[in-house]
Every structure is written in structure tokens, then in C-alpha cells.
């Protein structure tokens, strides 16, 4: 079988990112992220600027083209900033009409394949949130299923998918997505529970305090995170 060729978009991104890269930063970033995947060594702000400039020249006439371009960059990536570029393409303002349930499979692939917080959290708190707003009924069903998944990153994503909803948070959904992970020993799930509760505490600290008191099975980490910004009475 012939090897898959990298897309034109990916090759352009790679060239631009390589030119802006710093080998010392690349080594530090790789160590910090605890990953075997190499970095170009481009900081977040210039990385986003490169992505914005390069992606502006890409035609996205329809959702199918957008999904194809996203997956071509993500699947062909050899450096972590190239994964980040795929995440940036997911967020392109031209893709707003494409944030439907048809996009969920590509987000699922990116979440389960990357399997680390940098990509997972960006997609969960932004793109999954968009899908939940646009198609609440099917997304609620999907997130409830993800919350029970043996894949930790899907479960984490379900917990975090409402972090930007504020007063529009569907509390029954949030609590239902937390429930399967209440007894988990996984750091990233315990952290996600605390983060999700802390995010909602900005809107209703009394409700978060009530929930924490009603669930003694919450880990100490989850409780500390949940109540971090709740005034002590």
C-alpha cells in the first residue's frame, strides 16, 4: 500500500512552523508535555498567528471540505504544533455553520488519538460546547454515553463540555456526566470534576457548595478545585 501523502495545507503549515521554531523551546515543551511527539518550538501567540495567516488562504466551501482538511492536518501531523493547527482550523470562524453532529466524529478521533490534555481540553471546552449549544438533544445523549466510556479522555470531555455555559449550564447533564467518574482514581477525571464545578461556581457558588456537601465520595482534589473560588462563610 502506498504511503499517504501529506496534504498541501499540512506541508505549508510545517514549513512556516519550522521556520519560526526554536530548538531549545521545542525540547522544553516536549519535556513539559511528557510526550514522545516532537515540537517545532513555537510559542502559542506566534503559532496562532502562523495558523491564522496560512488558514486564511484555504478554501472551505462546505463542511465536507473543512472536515477533510482538519483530518488531513491532524492525521499527518509529526509535530505537536501541527496538531494545534488542526485545532485552530476547527475553530476557524468560517467553520461556525459546520458545528453540527456531523463534526462530532472528527472531534472524537482527535480526542481519543491525542489522548492528552492540551488537545482534549481545547476541543472539549470549545468545540463540544458549540455542538451542545447548536444541537442540544443529540449532543446530550452523546455526552451521557461518553461519560460512561472506558476511554478516560472521552469521559473527561463529557465532564468539561459545559465549562463555558455559565448560567446556561444544564445542571442535570453536568451532574450526570460527573456521576460515572465520582469514584475514579484517575487524576485527569478527578481534576476535570473539580474544574467543571469551579466553572459553575462563578454562576452559583451556593449550588456548588451544596453539591460538594452532598457527595462525600468526591476526591479531595475535586473538592479543592470546586471550592477554590467560593467565598468562605
Which residues face 38 on adjacent strands? 79
Residue pLDDT tens, the chain, 233 long? 445 678 999 999 999 999 999 999 999 999 999 999 999 999 999 999 999 999 999 999 999 999 999 999 999 999 999 999 999 999 999 999 999 999 999 999 999 999 999 999 999 999 999 999 999 999 999 999 999 999 999 999 999 999 999 999 999 999 999 999 999 999 999 999 999 999 999 999 999 999 999 999 999 999 999 999 887 65
Predicted confidence at residue 231, as pLDDT, reads 79
Domain ranges of the chain: 1-94, 99-233
The residues, any chain, with a CB within 8 Å of residue 172's CB and separated by 6 or more, are: none
Question: In the CATH scheme, what architecture does the domain 99-233 have?
Answer: Alpha Horseshoe (1.25)
Q: Is the dihedral of CA 182, 186, 154, 159 positive or negative?
A: positive
Q: Would the CATH topology of 1-94 be identical to that of 99-233?
A: yes
Predicted confidence at residue 81, as pLDDT, reads 98
Options 3.90.1150.10, 1.10.10.10, 2.40.50.100, 1.25.10.90; CATH for 1-94 is 1.25.10.90
The residues, any chain, with a CB within 8 Å of residue 24's CB and separated by 6 or more, are: 41
How many CA atoms does the CB half-sphere of 153 hold within 13 Å?
18
Amino acid at each position: 500500500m502506498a504511503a499517504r501523502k501529506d496534504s498541501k495545507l499540512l506541508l505549508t503549515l510545517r514549513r512556516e512552523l519550522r521556520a519560526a521554531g526554536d530548538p531549545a523551546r521545542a525540547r522544553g515543551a516536549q519535556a513539559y508535555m511528557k510526550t514522545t511527539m516532537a515540537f517545532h518550538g513555537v510559542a502559542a501567540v506566534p503559532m496562532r498567528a502562523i495558523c491564522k495567516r496560512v488558514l486564511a488562504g484555504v478554501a472551505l466551501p462546505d463542511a465536507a471540505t473543512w472536515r477533510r482538511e482538519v483530518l488531513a492536518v491532524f492525521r499527518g501531523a509529526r509535530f505537536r504544533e501541527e496538531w494545534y493547527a488542526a485545532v485552530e482550523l476547527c475553530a476557524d470562524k468560517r467553520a461556525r455553520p459546520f458545528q453540527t453532529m456531523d463534526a462530532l466524529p472528527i472531534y472524537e478521533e482527535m480526542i481519543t488519538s491525542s489522548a492528552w490534555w492540551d488537545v482534549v481540553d481545547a476541543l472539549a471546552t470549545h468545540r463540544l460546547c458549540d455542538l451542545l449549544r447548536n444541537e442540544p438533544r443529540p449532543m446530550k445523549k452523546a455526552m451521557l454515553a461518553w461519560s460512561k466510556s472506558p476511554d478516560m479522555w472521552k469521559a473527561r470531555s463529557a465532564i468539561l463540555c459545559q465549562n463555558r455555559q455559565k448560567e446556561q449550564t444544564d445542571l442535570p447533564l453536568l451532574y450526570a456526566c460527573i456521576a460515572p467518574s465520582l469514584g475514579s482514581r484517575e487524576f485527569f477525571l478527578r481534576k476535570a470534576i473539580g474544574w467543571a464545578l469551579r466553572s459553575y461556581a462563578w454562576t452559583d457558588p451556593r449550588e456548588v457548595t451544596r453539591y460538594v456537601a452532598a457527595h462525600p465520595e468526591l476526591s479531595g482534589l475535586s473538592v479543592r478545585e470546586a471550592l477554590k473560588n467560593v467565598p468562605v462563610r
